[in-house]
Structures are given as structure tokens and as C-alpha cells.
Amino acid sequence: MLNRLTAQKKNRGEDQYSPGGRTSSRPDRATIVYAQRCREAYPDVPIVLGGIEASLRRIAHYDYWSDKVRRSILFDAKADLLVFGMGERPIWEVADRMRRGENVSQLRDVRGTAYLVKNDEAKRHEADPATRAADRKTVVLPSYEEVVADKKAFALMSRNFQLETNPGNGRPLLQRHGDRAIYLNPPALPLEDGEGAAGSIAMDELYDLPFVRAPHPMYGGEKIPAFETVKHSIVLMRGCFGGCTFCSITEHEGRVIQNRSKASVLREIRALRRQGDFRGTITDLGGPTANMYSLKCKSEEIESKCRRLSCVHPGVCENLKTDHGPLIELMRSVRAEDGVKHVFIASGVRYDLAELSPEYVSELAAHHVGGQLSVAPEHVSPRVLEKMKKPGIESYERFQNMFACASKDAGKEQYDIPYFISGHPGSTMEDMIELALWLKKNGKRPRQVQDFIPTPMSMAACMYWTGIDPLTMTPVYTATGLREKKLQKALLLYWNPEQWDLAREALREAGRGDLIGRGPQALVPPESRPRGA
């Protein structure tokens, strides 16, 4: 749905994942439709759901497109099992155990999977639920019916779900839907770094599989936009410990960073070199973030017990190892590889971490930026940043200065391009005006502006739907009307004449008509004709 519709619920002009960017090539709610077609074609074959859509709709969730709370996708898709998160470990175990003769209905303890249970089994869990963080019992979430009827119950569900996402201490979850329930095992354990121990599933092993690095031949060579973006990029790691509330990476990839070894990365670059269309430019060397490679909690024991949702908010945790040395070494090795001419970093730089490593910022500025570096402060208002769980704007400003100095030292004229979100929960018209004034003062004219979209199961989606911050259970202001969202976005684009009518309307609505005019303090000029003439 995210791929088809914009934040204003209008059809997008291009489908990033279809040949030729054509729209309408895939059905809406594809996982449900494909599972139903599979069931019709092969009625006796077990169906295991996987992928991001299944993963992020695994319990009751808010669906922006229908503006409703939907039940777990497992009820609609009528599959036997649902794999959530990155699926390698669960799929391996499911396939292995079925090969050894187990029936899919016997697979009840595979980490990273969920399945439906009948009333009797649900009642057993409900009669003896988890009460302490340390017990291994099942956490009973508010039922689907409760979260539909009561927004507080929805926020509680969201909070309790988030608290069980660390594979080291996450407990099983149960959520009743009518006379049945969905049961979720704890999340799968992360893959091991590099080559891992013998017999384990490790990152290198995965990336050493003989991928052909091409779309399926059935597409007949037609270009697929999303593939074109990534075909010459290299993934260094997976996972993110940032905990931004609007982002679903943590719900899917987890908080623990899982790294490839340098040897594995270089092997992939050699494979890339053998491809006919590679001309020596690596378009991105990164992952969910550009600079979390090899960053970890100082102790596995502490990490496995930790129940914080972010290692960097409200400040960088004292237990986090922030040494960028291994990443810098890897960047240098990739540049030194035969046949590599340019290595760009297009993944988002986590600037609160980058500012701790001047050497990293110098390396980045000197060798890995093609004129413009994208960074995502997302907002400037402390109230909004707190709801996003993003660092304060001062951190971005410090990084910006470091990057400017490093670029100058390298003799390069290049800039950072900040990204912002309008309409995020917590953001009022006053907050957007504060942001617009900051942009004006700093001479920034953002072209890439994201009108907030609540993606299923994120904490920000919970705030959007309920008006409650699930972490504090306190009210949070949210712009839910499409018109107000449009006005907030127009303030970010105050410099664009096409947005002036909307920006003026937003300013008048906020009682800030003083910012309409021709003086230096104004954000937009007055109408050229008298209003209503």
C-alpha cells in the first residue's frame, strides 16, 4: 500500500518495484491475495508468510489507507505460519524440521514465527500470563476487539509489543481475536557477525550465496526502478539501534547490528566487477544507517538483558561502543580495490554518532560524497524530536560544521542536504513555523520533504491513531486531517511559489500573519491581488 499511495492517499506515479515502474502490476494487500491464490492452486501445501508486509502486520495494527485497525494478517491470509523479522533462521529451521518429518502444525516453538491458536490454548495462556520482565511466560496483549474499541488499550498493546523485541529477553506474545488468538514466539536470534562459529548461520555465509544480482529474467530486461538504485550498492550490516518512532526497521531487522566481515564485502565487490555494467562506481556502502557498522553494546550479557528501545536516545548510552575505526578501515579497503573508482555513501549518516569520530567525518567528506550528503535531522523543535526519539538539532549543527570544515580541508565544495518530516505526531503548526524560520535563517531550501505516513506497528503510527504516546501513556497532539498535513508541508516549502497560498493559510491559521509580507522577517510574500478580489 505504501508503494502505491502517497501520504495524501493519492496514487503514486510510479511503482518502484515493477518493471518499467508501471503501476497496477500488483494487487493491493499482495500478501493476502498471493496466499489465497497459493491455497487455491495447492490446497494441501502448507503456506508460510514472510517479508515486510507480513512482518509489520503480525498483530492488530493501524492501517492508514483504510483508517482502521486491522486484525493480524494471519487471519486474512489464512496461512499456516508467519515468519516475522529477517527470516533466514526461522525459514531454515522450518524447512529442516519439515524435511525430517514434522508437520507444520507441530512447529510451535520456532523463534521468529507466529501462528493461530484455538480458544482452549488461548485460555491457558490467559490464565497464567507473564507478570515480571524476567519470567518466561506469555505476555497477553489487549485483544483485537479491545484495541479497536479503546485507544488506550491500543497504546498499551503498542508499548508492550515494543518492550518484547529484544531477542535476548523478549517473551512470547498472545493476542486474542474473537474465539481464537495469534501466538508469537520470541524474535529470532540475530545472525552472527562475519563467518560466525562452525554450524551457525552468519552474515558472510548469507552474502556468499551465489546471487545473480539481477531481476528475474521473466521481466525481459525491463528496468525496475528500485533495483536500478541498489544494483551497484553494497550492504555492510543490518539492524538499527536508533529507535526512531516513525521507522519500522527495528520492528523488522532488530536493534542488534549484524556485520559482514571485510573479506566478505571485498568478495562481493569482485563479483560486482565481473558484471558487464559495472563501471567502477559503488553507489552506496552502508545499510539501514551509514555508520553503525561494528558498533555494539560493550557486553553481550548486558545487551541480552537490556530493555531500552534505543541505544542513542535520549543520549548515547555509556555502554555503547562507538569506535568508527573498523568502518573507516573498511571504507579505505573498498576504495583500494582494483576496478573501484568511486565509493559513495548514500545511506543516512547518524550524526550524533558521527560527531564522536572526527576521523570518520574527514574520511566521509574527502572520499565518499558526490557533492551532496543526505542527512535526516527530521525536525528542529525539541518537542517533536522527543516524540520522534531523534537527537536535538544542536547535534546536527555540530556535525554540519564538522562536515563543512572537513570538506574545506579536502578542497571540495560540497553540502549536506537535510531531510525533514512534516505532520509527525507532536508537530503543531507552531512547530512547523519554528522549523520554517530555522530553514530561512540557515539558508536551507529542502526539496525532499516527507509528509508523515504512519506505517503499521511503528510507535509513531500508534501516536497518530490514538493521540497517546505509548511510552509515557500521555496525550500527544497529532495532525490527522489531510488538509492540516498539507498545510504543515507547505510551511516546509515556504520558499516555493507554488506553496505560497497554502503557507499563507497555515500562517494565518496559526495567528502568524506577521510572517506574511516583504520584510526580512517574512516567510512568504502577500497575495499579489487583494484577498477575495
- Contact residues toward ligand SF4 (CB under 6 A) are 241, 297, 302-303, 306, 308, 311, 317, 319-320
CA torsion sign for 270, 273, 279, 282 is: negative
Q: What does the DSSP 8-state code read for residue 518?
A: S
CA torsion sign for 378, 383, 387, 389 is: positive
| Alpha-carbon span 349 to 376, nearest angstrom | 8
Q: How far is the CB of 245 from ligand SF4 (least distance, A)?
A: 16
Q: How far is the CB of 426 from ligand SF4 (least distance, A)?
A: 23
Residue 492 corresponds to which cell in the numbers above?
516546509
Q: How far is the CB of 11 from ligand SF4 (least distance, A)?
A: 41
Compare residues 3 and 319 and give the one whose CB is closer to ligand SF4. 319
Q: How far is the CB of 316 from ligand SF4 (least distance, A)?
A: 8
Compare residues 74 and 311 and give the one whose CB is closer to ligand SF4. 311
Structural contact between residues 453 and 424, judged by C-beta atoms closer than 8 angstroms:
no
Compare residues 306 and 375 and give the one whose CB is closer to ligand SF4. 306
| Alpha-carbon span 118 to 115, nearest angstrom | 10
Q: How far is the CB of 133 from ligand SF4 (least distance, A)?
A: 14
| Alpha-carbon span 449 to 492, nearest angstrom | 7
Q: How far is the CB of 433 from ligand SF4 (least distance, A)?
A: 34
Torsion of CA 516, 518, 523, 529, to 10 degrees: 50
Compare residues 36 and 304 and give the one whose CB is closer to ligand SF4. 304
| Alpha-carbon span 191 to 168, nearest angstrom | 13
Residue 93 corresponds to which cell in the numbers above?
529451521
CA torsion sign for 66, 71, 73, 75 is: negative
Segments of 10-89 assigned E as strands: 48-49, 61-63, 68-70, 81-83
Compare residues 95 and 302 and give the one whose CB is closer to ligand SF4. 302
Name the residue among 473, 468, 531 with its Cα closest to residue 500.
531
- Three-class SS state of 51: coil
What is the maximum alpha-carbon separation in the chain?
80
DSSP line for 66-135: TTEEEPPHHHHHT-SEEE-SS-HHHHHHHHHHHHTT--GGG----TTEEEEE-HHHHHHHHHS---STT-
Compare residues 317 and 410 and give the one whose CB is closer to ligand SF4. 317
| Alpha-carbon span 428 to 431, nearest angstrom | 5
Compare residues 247 and 364 and give the one whose CB is closer to ligand SF4. 247
Q: How far is the CB of 296 from ligand SF4 (least distance, A)?
A: 8
Compare residues 154 and 241 and give the one whose CB is closer to ligand SF4. 241
Compare residues 327 and 506 and give the one whose CB is closer to ligand SF4. 327
Q: How far is the CB of 486 from ligand SF4 (least distance, A)?
A: 38
Q: How far is the CB of 167 from ligand SF4 (least distance, A)?
A: 12
